[in-house]
Amino acid sequence: MREKIRIAIDGPSGAGKSTIAKAVARELGIDYVDTGAMYRAIGLKMTSRGMAMEESEALQKMLDETDIDFRSGDVILDGQVVSDRIRTPEISMAASACSALAMVRRKLVELQQKMGREKSIIMDGRDICEVVLPDAELKYYLTASAEERARRRTAELIAKGEKVNFDQVLADIEMRDYNDSHRAVTPLRKAADAEEIDSTSMTIDEVVGYICSRARAARA
């Protein structure tokens, strides 16, 4: 049996990448690396400091002093749990913006690749298949229609007791799609060797089951 397996998942915001990756990790008994949460953590730190994207010297100093970790399902930024604070629409947009900065991506990619060298992992994001884990055993591009992704996000926010407007959520998703696919540094796209999974009409369990079955076959 193969001792180590790396699963890379790319795709647009709201496609269910994190939910599915976490479930696959639990099912297979491997570690989940939430790359999106890492960028959100940077976005949160920049926002809390009122730091502009153009402040490159200050940003580099901030990155040098920043630590991000994952523990028991929580996101730890500089020793503090920020799991809930990084999931707001404001931080979502900040994460998209800061992810286009080369110095931010360089630091986080180094951390992500180190994890991939050391153990079996599943990792999701927007350039995992081509940049972070180009030699991953399994690669997927998980997507869904913008309307379906907005419906899921709206339901998630309502369940948390927040007042949301579907049209605004949809507009935010479409704007983020545009920003992610048109950025100068590693824009969002499907890797040539990645298998596309359109989850618009699929349940979470169906997607998880499919990926797990492929992973078990690859490890056999």
- Dump pLDDT digits (tens) for 103-158: 998 989 887 888 788 889 999 988 899 999 999 999 999 999 999 999 999 998 99
pLDDT band with cut points at 50, 70 and 90 for residue 23: very high
| Whole-number pLDDT of residue 91 | 94
| Whole-number pLDDT of residue 183 | 83
Across the range 174-196, mean pLDDT stands at 89
Extract the runs of DSSP E, i.e. beta strands, from the chain.
6-10, 31-34, 68-71, 74-77, 80-81, 121-125, 138-143, 195-198
| Whole-number pLDDT of residue 2 | 61
- Dihedral pair phi/psi, residue 4, rounded to 5°: -130, 140
What pTM was estimated for this model as a whole? 0.75
| Whole-number pLDDT of residue 82 | 96
Which tops the pLDDT comparison, 3 or 37? 37
pLDDT digits (tens, 9 = 90+) for 76-109: 899 999 999 999 999 999 998 898 898 998 989 8
